[in-house]
Structure 1
Amino acid sequence: MMQWYRLRFPIKLTFAIILALFVGFEFNLETPRWSVMTAAIVAGGTAFAAGGDPFSGALRYRGMLRIVGTFIGCIAALTIMIATIRAPLLMLLLCCLWAGVCVWLSSLIKLENSYALGLAGYTALIIVVSVDSSGSLLLAPQFAVERCSEIIIGIVCAILADMLFSPRSIKQDIDREADALLLEQYRLMQLCVAHADKDEVDKTWAGLVRRTTALKGMRSLLMMESGGWPKVERRMAVLNTLSLTLITQACETFLIQNSRPEYVPPQFLLLFEKPVESTADIHKRMKIMRRIITVSGSKNTPATIRSWVAAASRYLLLLKGIHTNSSISRIEEEVLNAEPVVRMRSAESRHAIINGVRTFVATAVGSIFWLWTGWASGSGAMIMLAVITALAMRMPNPLMMAKDFLYGMIFAVPLGALYYMVIMPATQQSMLLLCIALGVMAFVAGIFIQRRQIGTLGALVGTINILTLDNPMTFHVSTFLDGALGQAIGCFVALLVILLIRDSSKARIGRTLLNRFMYAAVSAMTTNTARRRENHLPALYQQLFMLLNIFPGDIDKFRLALTLIIGHQRLRDADIPINDDLSAFHKQLRHTADRVISASSDAKRRHYFTRLLSEFDIYQQKLALYEAPISVTEPVARLAQMLKKYQNTLIQV
């Protein structure tokens, strides 16, 4: 069974490529290799991203995005060619600009949807370059139609292969991970209540943030799989918020004990000391804790423990519905509609612009050099430039992906030469022998792709590209060398552009994210009922996860961000006195915090941050004047102290 599981994806990839090859030759397509390459990219790229056989639905979704992106790119290419057919250089530069704009926009949207925009960018350039290299611009409409047809055939073949060879449902993985996540949440609370070692607590909550984000991604894959999971999807959306709430309340419990060691009552210390083995154990423990809270009264129970128990109870309620996919009860409906979730705008606007500039510069320089020299391999280099810059720039580490393509294309030269000069001529134009030859290569590549072996996907795609599959097959060594040399040089130039145009936005993004955490904490100080009901927690933790990826190992930044998130949640629930004076001052605090984020220089940022600190001092005096309870004054004082301590981190790039 285990061996079949490991071999399922290589068999699936082999079937998709062979089916695309057979259909391409059977219907006498002009360039059958495009359908074969599409099947390899859709099936192989999805598996490489997933690190194994992709879940059911992910491959189909990626295929639909590729169809959409191809149609958009074809329309853009025809529009540009009709408008600038008498100016080849201008036509190519407009295509380069289009590719740059598509990459810029794709860097600002969800990663799974950005694939369509990236594809639309380089599809237009591929069509224009291919038509221009053929010497007849009148063939543009025909080439665009053929390209769309071949791509659709390749996608359909990949989807059929996915459907035939036991697509893997993600539902069982979701059930297991949701259970395991709650057990890990309980372990974090045990550590925080016991006030364990700070490093161990940091490691546990950082791991929980990653696992919660992964579970959120599983929700998207579940909806791609089938339309029969809308009730589970709704529950999982709120489950994500509850998991983040549990992390926040546990960490705040730990934080409060730094200054108030007696914060947790003995009965809760005793309860959390006992280990749990399953969600059933947690369910029993929650019943006991709710009974203790009811008997003790809310005033005698720490606010963080009360909130944690309430969130864990709601988590258990939704967890049962996720397992059974049952109808949503009245109580669940109240939980699902409790708070509107707020979305935040992207913090990567500068990073997105740099990505777009890299793509435009790389393709524009390549276009000018190609037109100036008339280089025979220029069209292949241009295509690889467009593909790599459009795909790599959307990745967290574009340099690594560019290296992956370069290593793959270098390996594709000897592998392609073996197939083009030895194996394929020996097939004697036999379709069966050709399918066997390519099937063996696809099967071996599939084994390495699901292991994420660097260079494997690039080698497979690059080899298929330079084999120039035609019907009937012709073997010209000069054509092979032109294609191999062009795509290898294109990959090298793309890598060079990424190295030369450095992305210096990392520190700026980090500061922007930290300032947004600060603004969220400040804006939580409000008496506006509608504003207090808004749920910022998923957006805040999404940006915290981004911070974890940008600065791996920088625990001080994570602690600061988490403390600000805790401050936001505590102040959002705090019983702030309601009067016009405090309401007006809340608006002033938000205005000053916003000026800190939008300041155009370090000097202005420092000026507004200093003003914000002085306004916090005045605000604390006002709270004392209006006799605010300790549930308000304590988190405000903690927030003010945190801002003073880390002001250099929040101000400087």
Structure 2
Amino acid sequence: MKDLDAAPRAQEMDEVQTEKIGAEPTGTGREKGLAMLQGLDRFFASLNYSYGLRMIVGIALAWFVAFRLQTDKPYWAIMTVMIVTLPTQSELLEKFIARLIGTVVGAISVNIIAAYALDDQWLFVIYMAFWLALCAYLASARSSMLTYCFSLCGYTSAILGFSLSVIPSSYMVFQISQARILEIWIGLVTAFFISMLWPAYLEHRDIRHKLRAKRFKVRELYEMLLTPGQDHKAFAMQYKSTLQDLMDFRDRVFQSFLSVSTERNEVLSIYQNGHRLITAMSGVLSLESMKHDLLKSDREAMIDYLDRLREWFLKGQSRERKLATKPVAPDALLSSSKGRYFVKQLDDKLMDLLALRAPDTDRADLYIPSIRIYYSDRKEALINGARTFLSIIAGMAFWMGTQWETGYILLVLIGLICTLGATYPMINKLLTVTLVLTIFMTVPVAYMLKFGVLIKANGLLPAMLIVLPIYFFAAMIKIRSLIGFLIGYAFMLSSVFLIGFANPMTYNFAQFANNALSVVIALVIILMIFNIIRPSSDDRKIERILESINHQFTLVEKNVTPKAVRDYEAYLYSAIYKARIIPESYGKARFLSYAFLTLVILRQQLALSNNEVRWALPDALQTAIQYEQFEEALSLIPEYEKNAHNDAERMNYWELSAAIRALLVFLDHHQSNFADQ
């Protein structure tokens, strides 16, 4: 679901203080009015106008070219522009290549199916249903590149295939295929070149602002870490929020490598700093728990050290000056092995954070995991494929049973909705209802536009001046949030289909009514099948993610190397990214906790192996952690710590117990929150 990252980026301080924008203003009426105006100003300033302008310029150009080339259904070119125009140039480049390949594969597949089964409508539709179900499965199960390839493959196949089913002749197969492919390619090429020619400096500036905002949030977290009396639960919540933001940012920066107008060294520098921020975050939750342990045993020394360290940390100094004036830990703290270990770990984390100011000459930490490393929920993908197949068969049965003259449009719509919707396998009930309501509300709006306004337009330019501002507004809604994305996306695609920007434009109410009825029936059939073959519950999705992560963790734990740990991190971040639209729940908190704990263990093993110390997690402890029996794991650790072979191994167990205690605090906070609700 990378399309869903389209929300515009605000300035650094605006982003950090987003939660304050919606706060109830206090004071006089004038102050309230000023606060409201300031909120509106921030809202309008945060909109991605560049994306909206690229969208409508692309629509206008595709519409114009399709008309000039005398294609009979230019609305397919317009719809293609709407589908493939993305918020950033780099995203478009990646998905343009995938969708171009998908279009060719879809066209070839339909022609092969037509060669064998076009004379028998039912057989042809069954073959098409199998093919579209496969496209939906692969769009759900594969990596980002293949997701969009098979999504547009299904999109092209649905448009071509079911249009052919009503005119079964080899001549019409060629005619319809070349017409639809031309319209789709007009949309693809137009969107690509408009985005490539569009100035991309705003994207680059925005990424740099985003990096500064993330650095600011990490510094806030470190300030909390260096505060002796910091609330443990508040720290855990801040940690979770900051880390999730960083992972979203990491994904966006990774896509910038594909931007043709971005200096590679600049992107490498931003990627390196983003990774350094994530590295600086790793282990901080354990340090917070270790800090609380030491505050009980060496309270005075810890308070003295943390106060001096916090004062030093908040000073605005150059990196060299900071390194030269860093406070030394008191002897009382260094006299114990736990105190020495804590000071060393904290020093390492502070150096990771200060490394953000270092010159970008060292590329040792620039290993970029392969795009083939990603989490895939294949069971949910299989459910999507089965749902697509049954929906198409149900649509065909309705068409044949009613002998509806334009019933093939119903199959086209079902194919489009299922294959495009397959790119969002984690979609939930709220989002589905939002999508359906938006499409239903689009019908009267499209009617008023077509028969109330466009019918009076006497040319292409007046029609564009009427429609394009509306689509500009819809594009702005689309990139505000996930709900906004579905509203804007559904409105744009369904309104284009209902209005039917044909060449020439026709104003036939019967045709409009048929198209509107097709949309409604397609949704009813899909929702009916959706109710029969239900998506997995959020808890079940989380369980499958946990099973997959545990499997990967077991494999890496047997042979820990720097590359294996980085690849595991990438897999973990991919799973967290896929699960981001699952509502907050105790199960999701468990998943995040387990993911964090596995990283702590692997990094401990890696650190020890770098010092030529071999350490493996004892079987009983590994089993307790695997089954999330954290209390039992805590009870086992003291015995292992007591029997440790050396001090390094002993400190390893202490850090592990601190990490588990931090996770229990985190889970307890979530459990109490959901119990209150």
Report the TM-score, using the length of structure 1 for normalisation. 0.79
Over 3 Å counting, the alpha-carbon distance change for 1:542 and 1:529 in structure 2 is: closer
Q: 1:20 to 1:312 in 2, by over 3 A?
A: same
User: CA 1:418/1:4 → structure 2, altered by over 3 Å: closer, same or farther?
Assistant: same
Distance 1:288 1:547, change over 3 A: farther
1:165 offset after TM fit, Å?
A: 5.8
| Structure 2 residue 381 is the aligned partner of structure 1 residue 381 | no
CA distance, structure 2, for counterparts of residue 446 and residue 407 of structure 1: 18
Three-state SS of the structure 1 residue aligned to 2:471 is: helix
Equivalent residue, structure 2, for 1:632: 652
- Displacement after TM superposition at 1:179 (Å): 2.5
C-alpha contact 1:209 1:541 (8 A) present in aligned 2: no
Identical columns (%)? 16
**In structure 1, what is the Cα distance between the partners aligned to 2:100 and 2:436?**
26
Aligned residue in 2 for 1:201: 235
Whichever residue aligns with residue 257 of structure 2, its letter is M
Q: Does 1:455 align with 2:487?
A: yes
Displacement after TM superposition at 1:627 (Å)? 7.8
Matches of residues 160-179 of structure 1 in structure 2 within 5 Å? 160-162=193-195, 166-167=199-200, 169-179=202-212
Contact kept? 2:373, 2:567, Cα under 8 Å = no
- Report the counterpart of residue 607 of structure 2 in structure 1: 573
Q: For 1:625 and 1:5, how far apart are their aligned partners in 2?
A: 59
Q: In structure 1, what is the equivalent of residue 191 of structure 2?
A: 158
Contact 2:208 2:270 in 1 (8 A): no
Tell me how far 1:100 sits from its aligned partner.
1.7
Aligned to 2:55: 13
**In structure 2, distance between residues paired with 1:58 and 1:161:** 14
Instruction: Name the residue aligned to 1:273.
Output: 310
Paired residue for 2:104?
71
Q: Label 1:401 to 1:392 Cα distance change in 2 as closer, same or farther (>3 A).
A: farther
Q: Does the 8 A contact of 2:375 with 2:574 survive in 1?
A: no
Whether the 8 Å contact between 2:55 and 2:472 is mirrored in structure 1 is yes
Whether 1:487 aligns to 2:519 is: yes
Aligned to 1:602: none
Correspondence for 2:251:
217
Structure 1 SS opposite 2:419: helix
User: What residue is the counterpart of 1:397 in the other structure?
Assistant: 427
Deviations 1:293-347 (A, max 9, x none): 9xx8997352421320232233332xx54xxxxxxx3xx033436x988985525
Q: Residues of 1 paired with 2:293 and 2:565: CA distance?
A: 29
TM-score computed with the length of structure 2 as normaliser: 0.76
Partner of 1:336: 366
Alpha-carbon separation, structure 1, partners of 2:198 and 2:374: 40
- Any idea what SS the aligned residue of 2:165 has? helix
Aligned to 1:285: 322
1:413 to 427, 435, 443: 443
Q: Report the Cα offset of residue 247 of structure 1.
A: 1.7
SS in 2 for 1:188: helix
Question: Is 1:40 paired with 2:82?
Answer: yes
Question: 1 CA distance for matches of 2:443 and 2:352?
Answer: 58
Determine the structure 1 residue equivalent to 2:543.
511
Q: What one-letter code is carried by the residue in structure 2 that aligns with 1:16?
A: G
Match of 2:124 among 79, 91, 99: 91
- Listed one character per residue, the Cα deviations across residues 68-94 of structure 1 (whole Å, up to 9, x for unaligned) are 222121111111111223432222122
Distance in 1 between residues matched to 2:409 and 2:254, nearest whole Å: 36
1:247 is the counterpart of 2:281:
yes
- More deviation in 448-457 or 10-19? 448-457
User: How far apart are the structure 2 equivalents of 1:434 and 1:643?
Assistant: 59
1:433-448 to structure 2, matched below 5 A, reads: 433-448=462-477
* Change beyond 3 A, Cα 1:108–1:589: farther
Give 1:365's aligned residue.
394
Unpaired stretches in structure 1, ≥5 consecutive residues: 47-53, 322-328, 598-604
Q: Secondary structure at the match of 1:257?
A: helix
Amino acid across the alignment from 2:325: I
- Give yes or no for contact 1:449–1:456 (8 Å, CA) kept in 2: yes
**Residue in 2 aligned with 1:312?**
353
CA–CA distance in structure 2, aligned partners of residues 110 and 356 of structure 1: 16
**Is 2:113 the partner of 1:80?**
yes
Aligned to 1:325: none
How big is the shift at 1:637?
A: 5.9
Cα distance, 1:269 vs structure 2: 0.6
Distance 2:618 2:605 in 1: 15
Distance 1:153 1:340 in 2: 35
User: Structure 2 matches for 1:461-476, cutoff 5 A?
Assistant: 461-476=493-508
Q: Say whether the 8 Å CA contact 2:151–2:420 is kept in structure 1.
A: yes
Match of 2:152 in 1: 119
- The yes-or-no answer on 1:257 pairing with 2:277 is no
1:120 offset after TM fit, Å?
Answer: 0.8
Partner amino acid for 1:156? Answer: V
Higher mean alpha-carbon deviation, 359-368 vs 105-114, is at 105-114
Q: Is the 8 A contact 1:103 1:355 kept in 2?
A: yes
Q: Distance in 1 between matches of 2:665 and 2:52?
A: 55
Secondary structure of the structure 1 residue equivalent to 2:364: helix
The answer on 1:496 being equivalent to 2:525 is no
Structure 2 contact 72–502 (Cα < 8 Å) conserved: yes
Specify which of 98, 105, 108 is matched with residue 138 of structure 2: 105
Contact kept? 1:249, 1:305, Cα under 8 Å = no
C-alpha contact 1:96 1:363 (8 A) present in aligned 2 = yes
Letter in 2 for 1:285: K
Alignment partner of 1:260: what SS?
Answer: helix
Letter in structure 1 aligned against 2:427: N
User: What CA distance in whole angstroms lies between the structure 1 residues aligned with 2:638 and 2:557?
Assistant: 14
Indicate whether 1:29 and 2:71 are aligned: yes
Give 1:365 deviation, angstroms: 1.7
Return the alpha-carbon distance in structure 2 between the equivalents of residues 626 and 113 of structure 1: 49
Counterpart-to-counterpart distance in 2, 1:620 and 1:12? 61
Q: Is the 8 A contact 1:170 1:222 kept in 2?
A: no
Distance 2:634 2:232 in 1: 31
Cα shift readout 1:188-207 (whole Å, capped 9, x = no counterpart): 12323435112211221111
RMSD: 4.5
* 8 Å Cα contact 1:527/1:578 also seen in 2: no
Tell me by how many angstroms 1:130 deviates: 0.7
Q: Distance in 2 between matches of 1:37 and 1:249?
A: 47
How do 1:43-62 and structure 2 match up within 5 A?
A: 43=85, 46=86, 54-62=87-95
Q: Which amino acid aligns with 1:369?
A: F
- Deviation by residue 1:176-232 (Cα, 9 ceiling, x = unmatched): 222332232222123234351122112211111122112212213422322643334
d(CA) in 1 for partners of 2:422 and 2:564? 38
Give the aligned residue type for 2:503. N
Which residue of 2 is the match for residue 50 of structure 1? none
Aligned residues: 611
Whole-angstrom CA distance in 2 between matches of 1:389 and 1:119:
11
Q: Identify if the C-alpha distance between structure 1 residues 434 and 405 changes in structure 2 by more than 3 Å, giving closer, same or farther.
A: same
CA deviation string 1:409-457 (max 9, x = no partner):
32333233334434444335x3343333434543454454455375343
* CA distance, structure 1, for counterparts of residue 550 and residue 82 of structure 2: 46
Per-residue CA distance 1:34-63 (angstroms, 9 max, x = gap): 2222223333xx3xxxxxxx2334345444
Name the SS of the counterpart of 2:202 in structure 1. coil
Moved more, 8-17 or 376-385: 8-17
8 Å Cα contact 2:55/2:475 also seen in 1: yes
The answer to whether 1:427 aligns with 2:457 is yes
Distance 1:333 1:362, change over 3 A: same
